[in-house]
Structure 1
Amino acid sequence: MPETAPAPAADPLARLASHYASMPPVAAMDIRVDHYDGRCLRVTAPLERHVNDKGCAFGGSLASLMTLGGWGLVSLQVEAAGLDADIYVADSQIGYLRPLFADLTVEAEAGPHADWDAFMDMLRARGRARIHVVAHARLPEGGAATEFAGRYVAILRR
């Protein structure tokens, strides 16, 4: 008898966490979907999985977590709009401001001039749309260790 895929989780955050866990390199990062308020997505990962030779967070891990946080944010927004689309990161820029000697905590949200309504209207009308997302890896004492700006593209599945 063939194996059946598990039923998708009813909660969008559980589905996002499950999707992250379904990709072996991402699963190895031990990412946790920590919080989502409809505007900002917070994801975390333990420092011990991402420590470099200096004892602080590895830059590649920070870049990956911020990219995944932005991807998750766009995915949640598209799902909430009742659409089914593939999401891709088109390009990104990262600034490393200070070393992070604690667990990685990333918050992703729409960029300052991004408009979710316009993004969804374009996605419905043309089958594809793009939006700018910003993310920060937070220091425990406040402020940003790393800043990220990325452009994400959504393409409707037909």
Structure 2
Amino acid sequence: MSAEEALQELREYCRGMPPVAAMGVEVDGFHDGALRLTAPLSANVNDKGNAFGGSLTSLMTVAGWGLVTLKLRLAGLKAEVYVADSQVRYLAPLYADLVADAMFGEGQSWETFLDTLVQRGRARIQVDARVVLPEGGSATTLVGRFVAIAKR
């Protein structure tokens, strides 16, 4: 499967999940090991006129899930991917559209993850995600562990 085919498949997955579709999530691309998702502020605004905290967390979680799912498809493997746990930090209010980047955490080995999945039928990997501020820096960060369970 090509990268563009895998990205298109991920776009279709996102459109098929009602909460994700309601947020207006779009798969922007995959560059330098990071998956980027976007969502309009207008669909994710709170009573203060900035991005709703739940939307920020959801977008980063979907980005992490999407990164693992995308990489598995590119590796030719089929597995169900779940978030096992995560830690979120809200650093600054966001008054613009939401842009989330997700990448594997420092020191994480994709190859070890794949080997473990093939051998044991399940594996976990840390993903770091953030929603960026238009002027630079992060509005919100997430560190999460994602689990893949091989489909039989």
TM > 0.5 fold call: yes
Max Rg structure = 1
Give the structure with the larger helix fraction.
2
Q: TM-score range by the shorter chain?
A: over 0.9
CA positional deviation for 1:37: 2.2
What's the % identity of the aligned pairs?
55
Task: Tell whether 2:147 aligns with 1:153.
Answer: yes
Consecutive unaligned residues in structure 1, runs of 5 or more = 1-9
What is the match of residue 14 of structure 1? 8
Unpaired segments ≥5 residues, structure 2 = none
Runs of 4+ in 1 over 2 A off after TM superposition: none
State the TM-score, normalizing by the size of structure 2.
0.96
Query: How far does the alpha carbon of each residue in 1:81-118 deviate from its partner, in whole angstroms, 9 at most, with x for none?
Result: 11100000000010000000000000000001211000
Give me the TM-score of the superposition, normalised by structure 1. Answer: 0.92
Q: 2:45 aligns with which of 48, 51, 64?
A: 51
Q: Tell me which moved more, 60-69 or 75-84.
A: 75-84
- Does 2:134 correspond to 1:126? no
What is the root-mean-square deviation in Å for CA atoms of aligned residues?
A: 0.9
Give the aligned residue type for 1:32: E
Q: How many residues align?
A: 149
Q: Which residue of 2 aligns with 1:100?
A: 94
Q: Matched residues in 2 for 1:30 and 1:144: separation?
A: 21
Tell me what 1:113 maps to.
107
Give 2:83's aligned residue. Answer: 89
